[in-house]
Structure 1
Amino acid sequence: MVLLLGIAAGLAYGLTAFAGAFLAVPLLVLFADVDYHRALPIALFALGICAAIAAGDAVRARQCDVQLSAWLMAGSLPTMLILGALAQRLSEPVLGTIFLIASLVFGPLLLLTLRAYANRMAPPPAALLDAPRRSFTDATTVVHRSTADKVGVLFAGVGCGALAALAAAPGALLGWRILERRLAGQPHLSVGTLALASAVLATLAAGWQFLFVADVPGYTAGLYVLGTTAGMGIARRAHKWLPQAPTHRALGCLVVIAALALWVVVVRGATAST
């Protein structure tokens, strides 16, 4: 069961640029009998592995802006460390409320964004496998960005870090919107840059939160990560055969449904404890 859950999460992450990561924690909590505090770092680590696969494809195709990734990580890292420690001290009902709010905000926002920006839709991470290769000259050209650009990416990183620490989803929607404006007309470059930042941040956030968790279910975590890796591999091969827009919309709806299901579980658990 845990292996299948991981495959589902890996497929969801690979086939959508925004929504997939939000499914990781609900799947573990609802179906793998893992409490929220342990599910967070497990989901983050699995996400880091999937993002690293996508980032590898992006680096190979030179579809990655290291400078913007560094600014995004600079904003995210301090936030993740502070809120990651806080998350492990909050009660499950409080964490469930935060997750519910994040999902209900970003789920509908995802759908609205897809309609408003239909002509500038971001490719899913799995599509980086077949991304057009940039020339070496293009990739190594130093772009001098304004201070406002750098500050904007820095603050977007703060939002990404907060979502990573509290909901195991590194704010891909926030990151894409800010990068898409600075890398106009280069959708693969935007997603590749975001994947590189996500791979580093999610892995560091998972390691940090594991320090606060006792009795980590290693067998469950291992199977889940293995499943997500397999799911990401399947997504990389299958993405070209699937319609992009319907896939995004379907997973956006699943985000909201999963969040509501998680909330029901958390409320029942809190009521039973009381």
Structure 2
Amino acid sequence: MVTGLKLPQQLRERAEDIAAGKIEPAPARDSATVVVLRDHERHGLQAFLLRRVASMAFAPGAYVFPGGSVDPRDGETALAWSGPSPAEWGTAFKADETLARELVCAALRETFEETLVLLAGPTESTVVDDTRGEDWEADRQALLDRSLSFGRFLDRRGLVLRTDLLRPWAHWITPSIEPKRYDTRFFVAGMPAGQRARDVSTEADRVLWVRPAEAVERAVRGEWFMMPPTLATLSELAGYETVADVLAAPREIVVHEPRAKIIDGDAYLVLPEGAEEYYPKG
């Protein structure tokens, strides 16, 4: 028995071509994702998930966390910043200072674009309490069409980026056999008081709050489709009781990159430790 995901024929052929040197793997784009968490009075710790629409080129129909690729302007330095410095984030994620700044800004920008959750406030110790309204939506649309940079958005509103509300959690790289690849750093954050995560992303057809353990169970039963990084992250979070517990958890960030392997004539995606136990053997 083999632990991993059996690959369809087209990915097997791509794996063989890469192994033979016939084609080069696609470059992995730097990206960031944020696991937004809350404490629910009845259900306990919950995570916010989006289901990607079926027409998406990458991971259609998958349940994911908010996130996306780095925008070159995410590296703008002229913005108010509270919390760990880019250099400290770089140490956590083994990235240079410029990339670390881009990753943090991309994480917070993408979260706002996809959920209207904004980890920023008028001072270094406050967070905006409501992002509903036509003016916020206009800014979100301007960020989406790239007519407004995230730094300019914050500056115009007089907001301080609250990077102290984030914690580094994981680092996953899309397998080399995939035509579209991402080099993704995972962050965790608590839902700010007064704000509401909303269904605003055109890339999702469903959003929900769910206990991590329930999400894992549904994925294992085949009810929800999840990529290995999402499933592994949720399985880890299932071991915590509260948002405070998650934010206080010590983390050593290890790079995980599933790899294609031919075993007994069949091609499998061999998963790294922390994910393989949640997929069927076969």
Normalised by the size of structure 1, how large is the TM-score? Answer: 0.26
Normalised by the size of structure 2, how large is the TM-score? Answer: 0.26
Larger Rg: 2
Structure richer in strand, relative to its length = 2
